[in-house]
């Protein structure tokens, strides 16, 4: 019932807009910024943000948004980030996570990494269907967003000093199982995205784990522009 109550908190349209904005930023968000983004008054935003924190959908803290410290730096402001806990509802009750963890444990113990990756790559290709390989980073963002990865384009400094762009993902759809079996599940995830995006087009997926993000990034292949 706790998860149902938490998800029910998003029924209010203003509260949902605030939650979606905070979740999409991947960083702490203050009340003023959230209110402006949702197009509501700060007091109303504060009320809904606190309700989301009470429901366990957001985490709250405080810090000085000016970036300064000491006298004259101002009082710390309340800030919010998306909660790390997962929420899900299934009626009637189902327990797919336990099944996934048991299958992952068996695959790991049996050394079936290669077989799992091959199956994941085939599934990615099946999801892409008859479509051509992904044509660029913007298209990759659309494809990954449809799969729940919460992708965003990020600039990176290449070895030559030229600005390069990569697609990073704030959400891993397999996060709970990946935490217990990281090499197995992250390898599966990479293979799935290789099949989905294609390996002979202008973009490719590769491993680049970073705390808080999906372990896979997508970037422009060498000798190809975006």
Q: Give the C-alpha separation, 164 to 146, whole Å.
A: 24
DSSP letter string over 71-117?
TTS-PPEEEEEE-SS-----SS---HHHHHHHHHHHHHHTT-HHHHH
Give me the pLDDT at residue 5, please: 86
Vertex 174 angle, CA 119 and 48, to 5°: 150
SS3 (DSSP) at 193: helix
Q: Which helix H or strand E contains 204, and what residues bound it?
A: strand 203-207
Give me the pLDDT at residue 150, please: 94
Could you report the per-residue pLDDT of 116-172, keeping only the tens digit for each?
Answer: 999 999 999 999 999 999 999 999 999 999 999 999 998 855 444 445 789 999 999
Give me the pLDDT at residue 71, please: 55
Give me the pLDDT at residue 198, please: 95
Positions in the chain whose pLDDT score sits under 70? 1, 65-74, 156-163, 222-226
Vertex 176 angle, CA 8 and 34, to 5°: 45
Q: Give 155's strand partners.
A: 165
Give me the pLDDT at residue 91, please: 83
Q: Give the C-alpha separation, 39 to 157, whole Å.
A: 35
Q: Give the C-alpha separation, 143 to 197, whole Å.
A: 8
């Amino acid at each position: 019932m706790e998860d149902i109550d938490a998800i029910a908190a998003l029924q209010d349209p203003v509260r949902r807009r605030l939650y979606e904005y905070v979740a999409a930023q991947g960083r702490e968000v203050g009340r003023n910024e959230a209110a402006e983004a949702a197009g509501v008054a700060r007091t109303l935003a504060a009320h809904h943000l606190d309700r989301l924190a009470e429901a366990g959908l957001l985490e709250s803290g405080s810090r000085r948004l000016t970036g300064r410290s000491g006298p004259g730096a101002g009082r710390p402001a309340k800030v919010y980030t998306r909660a790390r806990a997962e929420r899900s509802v299934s009626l009637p009750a189902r327990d797919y996570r336990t099944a996934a963890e048991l299958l992952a444990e068996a695959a790991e113990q049996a050394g079936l990494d290669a077989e799992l990756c091959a199956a994941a790559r085939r599934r990615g290709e099946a999801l892409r269907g008859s479509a051509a390989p992904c044509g660029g980073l913007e298209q990759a963002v659309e494809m990954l967003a449809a799969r729940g990865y919460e992708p965003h384009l990020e600039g990176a400094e290449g070895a030559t000093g030229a600005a390069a762009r990569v697609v990073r993902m704030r959400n891993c759809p397999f996060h709970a199982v990946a935490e217990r079996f990281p090499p197995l599940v992250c390898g599966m995830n990479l293979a799935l995205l290789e099949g989905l995006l294609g390996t002979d087009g202008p973009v490719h997926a590769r491993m680049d784990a970073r705390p808080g993000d999906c372990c896979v990034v997508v970037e422009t292949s060498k000798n190809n522009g975006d």
